[in-house]
């Protein structure tokens, strides 16, 4: 697991981002990925979307192409599990995670939050923790009608260009979602504004995550006395 401490921060250069549906990653952590890859051109990202059959798979690919444009390398995997039915195909989804673990060794894993009321989102979070047990996992949030927004404890401030880029790609690339009452750029901007207020971001905007487990080296490297 990535370790924090007084000896200077360790760089994050290998990221795994996992989402249930075609727009989840862009909504939950799109700004963070944009900020990270723009600031550090050597960052590599493995981008996985599980339930994006047909036209939604095309949306997922177009969205990923925009978000990952500045990554050093980007691997995009789009699966076609049925939307809303991931818990009913849990064994197959679990196999996908196990196969992924054999190929990817991330320093940071981004996934859905455990408290999300959408059944697909919860399963993805559960399998992420089951599969990547020794990794730094941050859980992103998705606003929707369920009213399940939580109390995040880790914030990533975003500048105006990152906010604008995130909102533009959400407006442009996910036509299948535009008629849904909750899918609105004002909602997405408003959530980033609230999170920016909570962490006093200089721009006023941030994305927020739940960090359930971190290690902190109080006396230098682990195991050194």
Domain that holds residue 172: 3-217
CATH of the domain at 20: 3.40.50.10320
Q: CB within 8 A of 204, min separation 6: which ones?
A: 193, 196, 197
Domain count, the chain: 1
Residue that is written with structure tokens 């739940």 in the block = 210
Please say if the pLDDT value at position 144 is more than 60: yes
| Higher-scoring residue by pLDDT: 176, 123 | 123
Q: Kindly state whether residue 225 falls inside one of the protein's structural domains.
A: no
DSSP string, the chain: --EEETT-PPPP-EEEEEESSTTHHHHHHHHHHHHHHHH-TT-EEEEEESB--THHHHHHHHHHHHHTTTSSEEEEEE-BPPTT-GGGGHHHHHHHHHHHHTT---SEEEEE-TT--SHHHHHHHHHHHHH-TTSEEEEE----TT-------EEEEE-HHHHHHHHHHHHHH-GGGTTSTT--HHHHHHHHHHHHHHTT-TTSEEEEEEE---EEETTSSTT--
Q: Kindly state whether residue 136 falls inside one of the protein's structural domains.
A: yes
Please say if the pLDDT value at position 176 is more than 90: no
β-pair type (44-49, 205-211): unpaired
**How many Å apart are CA 170 and CA 60, to the nearest integer?**
11
Mean pLDDT lowest for which of 101-110, 161-170, 171-180? 171-180
Give the pLDDT confidence of 55-83 residue by residue, as tens digits.
Answer: 999 999 999 999 999 999 999 999 999 99
Q: Counting beta carbons within 10 angstroms of the beta carbon of residue 132, is it exposed (0 to 12), middle (13 to 18) or buried (19 or more)?
A: buried
Q: Kindly state whether residue 222 falls inside one of the protein's structural domains.
A: no
Please say if the pLDDT value at position 7 is more than 70: no
Length, in residues, of the chain: 225
Give the pLDDT confidence of 188-225 residue by residue, as tens digits.
Answer: 999 999 999 999 999 999 999 999 998 877 775 554 33
Q: Kindly state whether residue 223 falls inside one of the protein's structural domains.
A: no
Q: Kindly state whether residue 201 falls inside one of the protein's structural domains.
A: yes
CB 80 within 8 A of CB 57: yes
Q: Counting beta carbons within 10 angstroms of the beta carbon of residue 115, is it exposed (0 to 12), middle (13 to 18) or buried (19 or more)?
A: middle
Q: Kindly state whether residue 204 falls inside one of the protein's structural domains.
A: yes
Q: Kindly state whether residue 205 falls inside one of the protein's structural domains.
A: yes
Q: Counting beta carbons within 10 angstroms of the beta carbon of residue 151, is it exposed (0 to 12), middle (13 to 18) or buried (19 or more)?
A: exposed
Q: Kindly state whether residue 75 falls inside one of the protein's structural domains.
A: yes
Ramachandran area for residue 8 (φ above 0: left; ψ -120 to 50: alpha; else beta): left
């Amino acid at each position: 697991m990535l370790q924090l401490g007084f000896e200077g921060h360790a760089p994050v250069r290998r990221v795994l981002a996992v989402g249930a549906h075609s727009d989840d990653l862009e909504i939950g952590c799109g700004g963070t990925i944009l900020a990270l890859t723009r600031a550090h051109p050597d960052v590599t990202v493995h981008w996985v979307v599980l339930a994006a059959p047909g036209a939604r798979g095309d949306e997922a690919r177009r969205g990923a192409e925009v978000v990952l444009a500045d990554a050093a390398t980007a691997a995009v995997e789009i699966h076609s599990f049925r939307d809303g039915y991931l818990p009913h195909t849990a064994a197959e989804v679990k196999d996908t995670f196990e196969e992924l673990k054999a190929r990817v060794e991330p320093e940071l894993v981004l996934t859905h939050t455990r408290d999300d009321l959408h059944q697909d989102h919860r399963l993805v979070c559960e399998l992420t923790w089951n599969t990547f047990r020794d990794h730094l996992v941050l859980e992103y949030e998705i606003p929707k009608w369920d009213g399940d927004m939580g109390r995040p404890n880790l914030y990533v401030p975003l500048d105006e260009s990152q906010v604008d880029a995130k909102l533009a790609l959400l407006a442009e690339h996910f036509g299948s979602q535009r008629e849904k009452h909750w899918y609105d750029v004002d909602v997405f901007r408003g959530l980033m504004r609230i999170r920016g207020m909570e962490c006093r971001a200089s721009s006023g905007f941030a994305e927020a995550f739940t960090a359930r487990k971190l290690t902190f080296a109080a006396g230098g490297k682990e195991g050194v006395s």
